[in-house]
Amino acid sequence: AKRSPGLIEKVFYNSSFYFIFGIFILWVAQTYIYLRSSAFVASDFLQRHWGGLVFCLAISCLCFYSVPPKFRTLSDETNLIAVSRSMLYEKTVYNATMGKNFYGNFQPINREFEKRRLLFPFLTYLVHLVRGYHYQNAFIVNFIAFFSLLAGVFIICAGVGGNLAAAGVVLLVVSQPLVTLCASCAGHDLFAAVFLGLALLSTFVFMTAPSPQSFAWLWTQLLALSQARYESCLLFIVIPGILFFLGYLREEYFKRYQYLYFLTPILFLPVILQHLLSQGALETPPGVPAFSFHHLGVNLMDMARSQFNFSYYQAYNNLLFWLAVPAALCLFRQFSRRPPAPSDCGPGRPRNS
C-alpha cells in the first residue's frame, strides 16, 4: 500500500511529458487535415485579413508596452516555468523549487508535485527549444495567445459586421483591464481562455458543416483544452454530450479517424494521475472540498453582485461590461438574421463533395 503512491508519482513525473507531446502532435496533425479538407489557402486568407492581423499585432504590442510583462501571482507562474524547465532538461514534469548551480548546470535539491495542467508549460518548453531556457519565454507564449485571441475576435466579427465593427470589438476587449493583466503575465488564465475559444469555434464549425474532418478537429481541440485548466476536462463530456442530444453525432464520424478515438483514454492518463496525486495537495481548509456545486453557486452570486458595484475600484470594469451587453445583443441579432458561414469564423470553407 505504501509503494502505490510512489509508483503513481514515478509514472506521472516521467511519462506525462510524452503524453502531452502526443496530444500536441495530434492537435497539429488534425488541424492540418481539416485545413486540407477545406478550401483554405494561406495566401487568400492573408490577403483578406492582413489589415486586421496587422491591426491586432499593433494593439498587442501597444498593450504589452503599456502594461509591462511581469509576474502577477508569483507562486503559480514560477511553478509553471519550473515545470517547463524540467521538460526541457529532463523530459519530466517536476516542479523544482530549490537547487544549486554547479559549473553552469542547475542541480535540483527539492522537487514538488505540480497540480496545474501541463499544456502551458509544454508550449513554453517549445519556446525554450528555440530561444534557450529563460523565464521570459512564458511571456512570449502569452503574447502569442493574446495576439491569437484578438485576431480571432477580429476575423469572426469582420465576417458579421465588417472591419470597422471588428476593430471596435477588439478595442473593447483590450479595454478590459483583466485581459491585459492576464496577457502580460506568465500565468495560464488567458492561455486557457484562448483554447476555450478554439474549442467553441471548432464546435460551431462542426455544427454548421459536419464532417469526419471537422469532428476530429473538434475532438483534438477538446483534448488539448483538457490540459489547459483543472475544470476544462469537463467540457470533453459537456460539448460532445450536447452534440449527441442534438443529433449531430453519427457513427461514420468515429470510423474515419479511429486511432484518435482509440488513443483518447490513454492520453487522459496524466489528468487521471494528476487528480489522484492532488488529493490533499490543494490549499483548502480541512474538511472543505476544492470543487463543489455550493462553491459554484456562491461564486456565481458574488460575480453577479460585483457587476452592479460602481465603486472606485470596479466602476471602469462594470461600465465596459454593461456597454458590451447591448453590443452582444446586436451581434446575436445579426447572427440570427444571417448566420455566418464556416469560412467567416473558421479557417476554411468545406470543399464540395
Residue 203 sits at the vertex; the CA angle it makes with 201 and 209, to the nearest 5 degrees, is 100
- Can you tell me the distance from the alpha carbon of 178 to that of 35, in angstroms, rounded to the nearest whole number? 33
- 106-118 pLDDT, tens digit per residue, is 777 777 888 889 9
- Can you tell me the distance from the alpha carbon of 287 to that of 282, in angstroms, rounded to the nearest whole number? 12
Residue 311 or residue 329, greater confidence: 329
Is 274:230 a contact under the CB 8 Å cutoff?
Answer: no
- The sign of the CA dihedral 60, 66, 70, 76 is negative
The pLDDT value given to residue 148: 95
- Can you tell me the distance from the alpha carbon of 62 to that of 12, in angstroms, rounded to the nearest whole number? 40
- 31-65 pLDDT, tens digit per residue, is 999 998 888 888 888 888 999 999 999 999 999 99
- 77-94 pLDDT, tens digit per residue, is 989 999 999 999 889 998
- Can you tell me the distance from the alpha carbon of 350 to that of 211, in angstroms, rounded to the nearest whole number? 9
Residue 271 or residue 103, greater confidence: 271
Instruction: Say if residue 165's pLDDT is above 50.
Output: yes
First to last CA, the chain: 58
- 171-194 pLDDT, tens digit per residue, is 888 888 889 989 999 989 999 999
Per the DSSP assignment, residues forming a β-bridge with 99 are: 108
Is 203:20 a contact under the CB 8 Å cutoff?
Answer: no
The pLDDT value given to residue 1: 39
- Can you tell me the distance from the alpha carbon of 326 to that of 9, in angstroms, rounded to the nearest whole number? 50
The pLDDT value given to residue 4: 46
The pLDDT value given to residue 350: 43
Provide the pLDDT confidence category of residue 138 given band limits of 50, 70 and 90.
very high
Provide the pLDDT confidence category of residue 3 given band limits of 50, 70 and 90.
very low
As given in the structure block, the three cell numbers for residue 316 are 471602469
* DSSP conformation letters of 240-290: HHHHHHTT---HHHHHHTHHHHHHHHHHTHHHHHHHHHTTTTS---TT--S
Instruction: Say if residue 201's pLDDT is above 80.
Output: yes
- Can you tell me the distance from the alpha carbon of 126 to that of 300, in angstroms, rounded to the nearest whole number? 36
Provide the pLDDT confidence category of residue 129 given band limits of 50, 70 and 90.
very high
**What letter would DSSP give residue 313?**
T
Provide the pLDDT confidence category of residue 101 given band limits of 50, 70 and 90.
confident
- Can you tell me the distance from the alpha carbon of 253 to that of 351, in angstroms, rounded to the nearest whole number? 17
Is 182:70 a contact under the CB 8 Å cutoff?
Answer: no
Instruction: Say if residue 146's pLDDT is above 80.
Output: yes
Identify residue 169 by its one-letter amino acid code.
Answer: V
The pLDDT value given to residue 215: 94
- Can you tell me the distance from the alpha carbon of 38 to that of 57, in angstroms, rounded to the nearest whole number? 26
Give how far the C-alpha of residue 180 lies from the chain's centroid of Cα atoms, to the nearest Å: 16
Instruction: Say if residue 333's pLDDT is above 90.
Output: no
**What letter would DSSP give residue 234?**
G
Find all residues with CB under 8 Å of 300, minimum gap 6, and list them: none
- 256-305 pLDDT, tens digit per residue, is 899 999 999 999 999 888 888 877 666 666 667 767 777 888 888 888 88
Burial (CB count <10 Å: 0-12, 13-18, 19+), residue 72? middle
- Can you tell me the distance from the alpha carbon of 53 to that of 151, in angstroms, rounded to the nearest whole number? 6
- 17-32 pLDDT, tens digit per residue, is 999 999 999 999 999 9
Residue 98 or residue 260, greater confidence: 260
The pLDDT value given to residue 27: 95
Residues of the chain with pLDDT > 90: what percent? 43
Provide the pLDDT confidence category of residue 242 given band limits of 50, 70 and 90.
very high
Instruction: Say if residue 352's pLDDT is above 50.
Output: no
Provide the pLDDT confidence category of residue 341 given band limits of 50, 70 and 90.
low
Is 256:214 a contact under the CB 8 Å cutoff?
Answer: no
Is 208:248 a contact under the CB 8 Å cutoff?
Answer: no
Burial (CB count <10 Å: 0-12, 13-18, 19+), residue 296? exposed
Per the DSSP assignment, residues forming a β-bridge with 110 are: 98
Q: What does pTM read for this prediction?
A: 0.84
Instruction: Say if residue 132's pLDDT is above 70.
Output: yes
